[in-house]
Amino acid sequence: MRSILFASALALAACGQQPAPEDVPPPAPLEISADAPQITAALADSRRPAEDAARDANRHAAETLAFARITRGMRVADIFPGGGYWTRLFAVAVGEEGRVYPTIRPDGVAGEYETPVIAVAAQYPNATMARVPYDALAFPEPVDVIFTAQNYHDMALTDYALGDRAAMNRAAFAALKPGGYYIVIDHAAVDGSPVETNAQTTIHRIDQAIVRREIEAAGFVFDGEADFLRNAEDTRTVNVFDPSIRGRTDQFVMRFRKPE
């Protein structure tokens, strides 16, 4: 179809006519390589603790930043930032002209008031803590990327009271610039598994198809997935914190786009 549209545009140009806007395909997004300068700089940042660097290969940090299309000058929201692993990487990758918003609930949960990411953000002048409910995401400016890794499943756990997933997805949609990306990484559950809601019995996984369906319902367009965190040896039936699989779970990586 792209080649047909391109040929049509050439024919119209030859006749001195300009193609109608709806006949011109949108430009292809710029693909980022895992060894792009901003990514290399992020991984080499001397402020990163040794334990973070030791996790880079297992977490496929370079590939993840490339998949999220992180470039200089971007505004990135890091949802559920934990200890700040991704916040550090984003802060360097977007450069001084960019901005990162590590985001935690205003009332704190599971020790979030004491979370190390607060200290991490203080190390980076372009990182600004955002304290907003997860299901009412909002930032001082529209953002280019909203990113969350290994936490989407937690939204369903009633004991955690983190908020409504559908509302979070709608808020993410509203907070993004047109053309912006919503990146979700999580531990894969067995296909067809129901969403777990009991924090006492959960194995901290979620069915990829459910996540995709919920995010698309908010208006997002599925923009691709990556397989660098896949592990066919994971049965998807064991708790992700079990020593037999911890750090090696089968994970899905999906990218969604807000239409322009």
pLDDT score of 109 more than 90: no
% the chain with pLDDT above 90: 82
Tell whether 112 and 206 lie within a shared domain: yes
The better pLDDT of the pair 116, 146 is held by 146
Spatial CA neighbour of 205 closest among 190, 193, 191, 188:
188
Quick one: 220 exposed, middle or buried, by C-beta within 10 A (0-12, 13-18, 19+)? buried
Across the chain, what does the average pLDDT equal?
A: 90
Spatial CA neighbour of 69 closest among 178, 151, 146:
146
pLDDT score of 13 more than 90: no
Q: Give yes or no for a contact between 90 and 78, defined as CB atoms under 8 angstroms apart.
A: yes
For residue 8, the model assigns a pLDDT of: 43
Point out the least confidently predicted range of 22-36, 42-56, 91-105, 212-226: 22-36
For residue 110, the model assigns a pLDDT of: 52
Tell whether 105 and 13 lie within a shared domain: no
Tell whether 21 and 84 lie within a shared domain: no
Tell whether 4 and 53 lie within a shared domain: no
pLDDT (tens digit per residue) in 66-100? 999 999 999 999 999 999 999 999 999 999 999 99
Tell whether 24 and 70 lie within a shared domain: no
Tell whether 17 and 141 lie within a shared domain: no
Indicate the residue type of 199.
A
Tell whether 147 and 25 lie within a shared domain: no
Which CATH number covers residue 237? 3.40.50.150
Strands (E), the chain: 75-79, 99-104, 130-131, 143-149, 176-187, 221-226, 251-257
Q: Give yes or no for a contact between 186 and 209, defined as CB atoms under 8 angstroms apart.
A: no
Cα 96 to Cα 143: distance, rounded to the nearest angstrom: 16
Read off the pLDDT band of 26 (50, 70, 90): low
Tell whether 192 and 170 lie within a shared domain: yes
Average pLDDT over residues 213-230: 98
Question: Running DSSP on this structure, what letter comes out for residue 18?
Answer: P
Point out the least confidently predicted range of 18-32, 176-190, 246-260: 18-32
Cα 159 to Cα 198: distance, rounded to the nearest angstrom: 7
HSE of 38 in the Cβ direction (CA atoms, 13 Å)? 23
Tell whether 159 and 94 lie within a shared domain: yes
Tell whether 154 and 213 lie within a shared domain: yes
Containing structural domain, residue 24 = 1-29
Tell whether 3 and 93 lie within a shared domain: no
For residue 108, the model assigns a pLDDT of: 63
Average pLDDT over residues 54-71: 98
Tell whether 11 and 45 lie within a shared domain: no
Q: How many domains does the chain have?
A: 2
